[in-house]
Structure formats: C-alpha cells, structure tokens
Amino acid sequence: MVKTKDNVVRMEAPVIIVPDEQDREIPVLMNRHYIDWIMDHAKKKKLSIQGYQLRGKNIEITFKNSKHASVFALTWKEDE
C-alpha cells in the first residue's frame, strides 16, 4: 500500500528485521534490486528523489516536491 504525505511516500518494502550486536532491530532489504527498481521508475517518470530511508517494514521516499510524490504514488505498481 502506497501512502503520501507532503513530499514523502511511504510503502511496504520487502524487508527482514535482523538484530545487530546490541540487539537493536535493523531492517534489511530481502531483494537487493528493490531500490534500483524504485530509482528506475522515478527516472522513467522524470521525478526527483531526494532520498530514502527504511523504517521498520516500510520505506520512506522523499521527493523534490509533493507533485512528484503524488505521481509516483499513482503510477507505482506493487508487483514491479
């Protein structure tokens, strides 16, 4: 499910939660190409991504403006 708020898009990502040395939970992507697919999709649509961050089982993608975030949210397909 893709959600937008201002210039940030939040969506579920294929992650697994792994403990580090201090037993803190760290999210790790299970598919190493997932970020590449996101970047390729944004590039095809000519959208400017400022950054991304894994938070729990979600990924937060920050765009240049809210219009870019809306276009991404409307055009992203979960099966990509």
Segment 21-80, tens digit of pLDDT:
999 999 999 999 999 999 999 999 999 999 999 998 999 999 999 999 999 999 998 655
pTM: 0.85
Smallest CA-to-CA distance from 69 within 2, 13, 16, 1 is with 2
The burial of 19, by beta-carbon neighbours within 10 Å (0-12 exposed, 13-18 middle, 19 or more buried), is given as: exposed
Mind listing the domains of the chain with CATH numbers? 2-75 (3.30.70)
